[in-house]
């Protein structure tokens, strides 16, 4: 059994992860960390029987008292900067979907992992459909290089654009030359109306209640458009990818990124 801890266990995503770990064959939930719910049984939070696992708000104490093989982190960037290095320095592997860190920051955490003979896996999106959406978008860019990205998330998300959008843009950019899109003379009557810019492509972030995570990539060509869209209807969509990463993350040293790199 792989002994799993969850950071941010009291949040909506954290609770869903805890439920999935409990239900997943080969994984055992042994630790729950959250800034709230000190001493509460995690089973009471997730509505499932879990024996002997209480929520801990002191990460140092948790790491010193519980044997953990893999820690799953879905918190926020500021918390990750502080907490994940502590976990890695204990020789515990990390699976994370937290966005908002730069590639350089993630690389530095990967270096910490390697120095401590452990591993870290990061993905901007753990939904299988989202991986396919990015793959298809990168392929389409070879033939239709004019593209814009619209990503739509719940209104509690802190970073914009999303990690998935940034990853998508980077993958598209591998298959097209940087170029300006739109008229040279265009201007914004409301600042930001044209969205952010990445190598000439525009990206737009929507934050509204009701969304979980959605993204569409719109390509334009002569007399035609192509739209590639993925929707996560619920957080359950991320669970198979997260469970897969939890089972595989101990198979290397240092940092590995992107779900497609561990999918069979």
Instruction: Say which CATH topology domain 2-122+236-261 has.
Output: Rossmann fold (3.40.50)
- Does pLDDT of 255 surpass 80? yes
What is the pLDDT confidence band of residue 86, given thresholds at 50, 70 and 90? very high
**C-alpha span between 95 and 20 (Å, rounded):** 14
Contact at 8 Å (CB) between 120 and 93?
yes
Place of tokens 């990061």: 122
From residue 39, give the alpha-carbon distance in Å to each of 33, 44, 113, 178, 233: 10, 11, 29, 53, 32
pLDDT given for residue 99 in this prediction: 84
Q: Is 157 one of the catalytic residues?
A: yes
What is the pLDDT confidence band of residue 84, given thresholds at 50, 70 and 90? very high
Name the burial class of residue 158, with classes exposed (0-12), middle (13-18) and buried (19+) by CB atoms within 10 angstroms of its CB.
exposed
Which tens digits make up the pLDDT trace of 216-233? 999 999 999 999 999 999
pTM of the model: 0.84
DSSP H or E run through 255: strand 254-257
What is the percentage of the chain residues whose pLDDT exceeds 70?
A: 100
Which tens digits make up the pLDDT trace of 123-172? 989 999 999 999 999 999 999 999 999 999 999 998 999 999 999 999 99
What is the pLDDT confidence band of residue 100, given thresholds at 50, 70 and 90? confident
Name which CATH class applies to 128-233: alpha beta
What is the percentage of the chain residues whose pLDDT exceeds 90?
A: 91
Which tens digits make up the pLDDT trace of 176-185? 999 989 888 9
Shortest CA distance to 83 belongs to which of 135, 29, 120, 128?
120
**C-alpha span between 70 and 24 (Å, rounded):** 14
Long-range contacts at 228-234 (CB < 8 A, ≥ 24 apart): 228/133, 228/136, 228/137, 228/140, 229/133, 230/127, 230/129, 230/130, 230/132, 230/133, 232/127, 232/129, 232/130
User: What mean pLDDT is predicted for residues 226-244?
Assistant: 96
- Does pLDDT of 191 surpass 80? yes
What's the mean per-residue pLDDT of the chain?
95
**C-alpha span between 24 and 181 (Å, rounded):** 46
pLDDT given for residue 127 in this prediction: 94
What is the pLDDT confidence band of residue 87, given thresholds at 50, 70 and 90? very high
**C-alpha span between 151 and 193 (Å, rounded):** 15
pLDDT given for residue 124 in this prediction: 87
- Does pLDDT of 264 surpass 80? no
What is the CA 67 to chain-centroid distance, rounded? 25
Q: Is 154 one of the catalytic residues?
A: no
Choose, from 157, 230, 247, 248, the residue flagged as catalytic.
157
Q: Which sequence spans correspond to the domains of the chain?
A: 2-122+236-261, 128-233
Q: Are strands 70-73 and 93-96 parallel, antiparallel or unpaired?
A: parallel
- The angle subtended at Cα 109 by Cα 55 and Cα 214, nearest 5°, is 70
Choose, from 122, 153, 230, 247, the residue flagged as catalytic.
153
pLDDT given for residue 121 in this prediction: 98
User: What mean pLDDT is predicted for residues 61-69?
Assistant: 97
């Amino acid at each position: 059994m792989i002994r799993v801890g969850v950071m941010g266990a009291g949040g909506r995503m954290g609770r869903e992860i805890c439920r999935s770990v409990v239900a997943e064959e080969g994984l055992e939930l042994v630790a729950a960390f959250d800034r709230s719910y000190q001493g509460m049984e995690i089973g009471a939070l997730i509505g499932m029987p879990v024996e002997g696992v209480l929520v801990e708000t002191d990460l140092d104490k948790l790491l010193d008292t519980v044997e953990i093989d893999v820690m799953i982190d879905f918190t926020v960037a500021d918390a990750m900067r502080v907490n994940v290095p502590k976990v890695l320095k204990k020789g515990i592997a990390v699976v994370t979907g937290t966005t908002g860190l730069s590639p350089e920051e993630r690389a530095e955490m990967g270096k910490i992992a390697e120095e401590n003979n452990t591993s870290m896996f990061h993905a901007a999106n753990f939904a299988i459909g989202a991986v396919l959406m990015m793959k298809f978008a990168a392929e389409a860019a070879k033939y239709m290089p004019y593209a814009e990205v619209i990503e739509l998330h719940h209104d509690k998300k802190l970073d914009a654009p999303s990690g998935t959008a940034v990853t998508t843009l980077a993958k598209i950019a591998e298959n097209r030359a940087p170029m300006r899109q739109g008229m040279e003379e265009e201007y914004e009557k409301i600042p930001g109306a044209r969205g952010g810019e990445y190598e000439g492509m525009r990206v737009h972030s929507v934050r509204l209640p009701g969304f979980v995570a959605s993204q569409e990539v719109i390509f334009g060509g002569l007399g035609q458009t192509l739209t590639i869209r993925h929707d996560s209807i619920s957080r359950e969509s991320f669970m198979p990818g997260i469970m897969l990463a939890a089972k595989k993350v101990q198979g290397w040293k240092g940092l590995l990124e992107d779900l497609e790199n561990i999918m069979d």
